[in-house]
């Protein structure tokens, strides 16, 4: 059975090269092309080349026992074509793997041209329906954060409009250890459920000071093409604030039902912090997605009682990003539950970042090739970095689903007993990575991976 890969960015070429290496014929569609002497591009791509890196040239850390390293190590062991090319085109970048972006794209084009099983078609795909005239094929959709409008409409048609998002709206995350616990309190609104939220209470004066700083704070520059015409449901906090002094007190900073047990009174306004992970070592500021410059966020958010000395692990962001609600739509082989002939990979599938996109492209290529040849491939192990990414995108709460990079939060945590015994965080991470690689190697030997080196040559 033939494979049709749509998208010639990062995930698409990786999927195509992987499937071809495993013996499948692949049609690789890319809409960027020279048409009537003019380049036809997306709003952010500047070339028609495969594997164009849209912004930075870094594939992140190479420091052993970090999660970006672990993900890359797994990809090397599985024979990822794009990672090999990244290694070959690396430029000095300290502990990171950064590439010469022009050379990187060039070598991907060469690898594709050298693969007789891949046919490149420079065309925008707008339909996912198999016309029934030709032989059946498997589709790998890897059209990325800037999927063309016509194809986005087609994806909405087959998945339901509520399952395709066009923006990332991310709230800031704060390191739990840096919250002043004397100034905040745990409570659930109206005491319903367990008191999981940290509440930062504000007096009227504190609220006014915070409000004034917020509405005057400088916004991050939006790229012209981003056209951030926000949905009402995920308005940036500063946009909401500009509608009136009390809008936030009736919205994300609503104090009702959150009486401060220490005073018995309801504060003028409350900022709620929600656990980011089960270990509760980081919290996000509920409803505080924003589009402010990072320095401005630090300045304004530290006016919140309890966060005066907060360390922000991530700042709020809002940017254009097309992605599906993977937990509602995909099975663990990255296939659409409603139509298993359609596989998803890359940023569109709900992962975030260059390396994560390439990794899911590789996995989709392995799965699709095995299925095309009549084998049901074993799932990448949950304990591996790549298995953890898939676990996250398929098992997260669909109502709150946000794309994610690979982090230790997504990996299988160590057992309680071991966590207690091993106090050193670095040592815990080393153990997690070691376990991941052992299980990943054993999975590799169970799936068909023609020509893949079994062990990293680096
Ligand atoms: C502006 C911007 C900057 C980013 N910067 C970074 C960064 O610095 N670091 C990082 O790790 N991540 C970054 N990302 C996030 C992400 O990792 C990259 O977008 C990455 O390129 C995603 O890989 P992909 O293969 O999923 O999508 P892409 O690389 O975008 O590839 C998708 C391809 O599909 C094609 N396509 C779209 N629609 C169709 C269609 N209908 N028919 C045929 N082809 C189609 C597109 O032309 C494109 O070539 C950035 C994202 C954006 C939008």
Give the start-to-end residue ranges of the domains of the chain.
2-168+321-444, 172-315
Residue 321 in this model has a pLDDT that exceeds 70: yes
Residue 455 in this model has a pLDDT that exceeds 60: no
Confidence tier at 450 by pLDDT (50, 70, 90): low
Please report where in the chains the tokens 């504060």 appear, as a residue: 267
Confidence tier at 175 by pLDDT (50, 70, 90): very high
Do residues 272 and 305 touch, judged by C-beta distance below 8 A? no
Whole-number pLDDT of residue 222? 65
Ligand 1 centroid from CA 350, angstroms: 12
SS (H, E, C) the chain: CEEEEECCCCHHHHHHHHHHHCCCCEEEECCCEEECCEEECCCCCCCCCCCCCCCCCEEEECCCCCHHHHHHHHHHHCCCHHHHHHHHCEECCCCEEEECHHHHHHHHHHHHHCCCCEEEECCCCCCCCCCCCCCCEEEEECCCCCCCHHHHHHHHHHHCHHHEEEEEEECCEEEHHHCCCCCCEECCHHHCCCCCCEEEEECHHHHHHHHHHHHHCCECCCCHHHCCCCCHHHCCHHHHHCCCCCCHHHCCCCCCCCCECCCCECCCEEEEEEECCCCCCEEEECCCCCCECHHHHHHHHCCCCCCCCCCEEECCEEEEEEEECHHHHECCCCEECCEEEEEECHHHHCECCHHHHHHHHHHHHHHHHHHHCCCCCCCCCCCCHHHHHHHHHHHCCHHHCCCECCCHHHCCCCCHHHHHHCCCHHHHHHHHHHHHHHHHHHHHCCCCCCCCCCCCCC
Mean pLDDT, range 308-325, rounded to an integer: 91
Whole-number pLDDT of residue 4? 97
Closest residue to atom 14 of ligand 1, CA basis: 353
Ligand 1 centroid from CA 314, angstroms: 22
Ligand 1 centroid from CA 123, angstroms: 17
Ligand 1 centroid from CA 347, angstroms: 7
- With a Cβ cut-off of 6 Å, ligand 1 is lined by 6-12, 29-32, 42, 44-45, 54-56, 124-125, 142-148, 151, 346-348, 353-354, 357
Whole-number pLDDT of residue 452? 42
Q: Which fold has domain 172-315?
A: Elongation Factor Tu (Ef-tu); domain 3 (2.40.30)
Whole-number pLDDT of residue 218? 93
Ligand 1 centroid from CA 358, angstroms: 11
Return the minimum-mean-pLDDT range out of 31-40, 291-300, 370-379, 449-458: 449-458
- Ligand 1 atom showing the smallest separation from residue 356 Cα: 17
Ligand 1 centroid from CA 45, angstroms: 8
Whole-number pLDDT of residue 332? 97
- Ligand 1 atom showing the smallest separation from residue 10 Cα: 25
Mean pLDDT, range 53-69, rounded to an integer: 93
Residue 69 in this model has a pLDDT that exceeds 80: yes
Return the minimum-mean-pLDDT range out of 54-58, 102-106, 306-310, 371-375: 54-58
Domain 2-168+321-444 has CATH 3.50.50.60: yes
Return the minimum-mean-pLDDT range out of 54-58, 244-248, 335-339, 379-383: 54-58
- Ligand 1 atom showing the smallest separation from residue 405 Cα: 11
Ligand 1 centroid from CA 14, angstroms: 13
**Among 54, 99, 109, 154, residue to substitute to test ligand 1 (most atoms within 8 Å of Cβ):** 54
What is the residue-averaged pLDDT of the chain? 91
Closest residue to atom 20 of ligand 1, CA basis: 354
Ligand 1 centroid from CA 9, angstroms: 6
32 vs 188, higher pLDDT: 32
Mean pLDDT, range 326-342, rounded to an integer: 96
């Amino acid at each position: 059975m033939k494979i049709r890969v749509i998208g010639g960015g990062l995930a698409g070429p990786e999927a195509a090269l992987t499937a071809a290496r495993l013996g499948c014929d692949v049609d690789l569609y890319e809409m960027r092309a020279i048409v009537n002497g003019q380049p036809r591009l997306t709003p952010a791509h500047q070339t028609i080349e495969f594997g164009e890196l849209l912004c930075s040239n870094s594939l992140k850390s190479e420091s052993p026992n970090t999660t970006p390293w672990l993900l890359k190590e797994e990809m090397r062991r599985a024979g990822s074509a794009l990672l090999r090319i990244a290694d070959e085109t690396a430029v000095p970048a300290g502990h990171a793997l950064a590439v010469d972006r022009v050379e990187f794209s060039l070598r991907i084009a060469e690898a594709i041209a050298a693969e007789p099983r891949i046919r490149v078609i420079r065309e925008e795909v707008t339909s996912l329906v198999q016309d029934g005239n030709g032989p059946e094929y498997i589709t790998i959709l890897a059209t990325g954060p800037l999927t063309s409008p016509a194809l986005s409409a087609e994806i909405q048609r087959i998945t339901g409009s509520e399952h395709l998002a066009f923006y990332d709206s991310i709230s800031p995350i704060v390191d739990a250890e840096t919250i002043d616990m004397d100034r905040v309190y745990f409570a659930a609104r109206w005491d319903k459920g367990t008191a999981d939220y940290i509440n930062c209470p504000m007096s009227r004066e504190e609220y006014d000071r915070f409000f004034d700083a917020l509405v005057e704070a400088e916004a991050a520059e939006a790229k012209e093409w981003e056209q951030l015409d926000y949905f009402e449901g995920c308005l940036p906090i500063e946009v909401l604030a500009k509608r009136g002094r009390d809008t936030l007190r009736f919205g994300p900073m609503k104090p009702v039902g959150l009486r401060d047990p220490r005073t018995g009174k309801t504060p003028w306004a409350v900022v709620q912090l929600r656990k980011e992970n089960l270990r509760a070592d980081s919290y996000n500021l509920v409803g505080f997605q924003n589009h402010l410059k990072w320095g401005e966020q630090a300045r304004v958010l530290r006016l919140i009682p309890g966060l005066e000395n907060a360390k922000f692990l991530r700042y709020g962001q809002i940017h254009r990003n097309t992605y599906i609600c993977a937990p509602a739509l995909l099975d663990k082989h990255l296939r659409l539950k409603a139509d298993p002939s359609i596989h998803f990979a890359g940023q569109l599938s709900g992962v975030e970042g260059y390396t994560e996109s390439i990794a899911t492209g590789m996995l989709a290529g392995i799965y699709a090739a095995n299925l095309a040849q009549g084998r049901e491939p074993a799932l990448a192990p949950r304990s591996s970095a790549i298995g953890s990414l898939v676990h996250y995108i398929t098992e997260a709460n669909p109502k709150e689903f946000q794309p994610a990079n690979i982090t230790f939060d997504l990996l299988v945590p160590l057992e309680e007993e071991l966590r207690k015994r091993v106090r050193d965080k670095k040592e815990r991470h080393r153990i997690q990575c070691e376990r991941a690689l052992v299980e990943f190697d054993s999975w590799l030997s169970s799936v068909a991976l023609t020509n893949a080196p079994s062990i990293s040559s680096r």
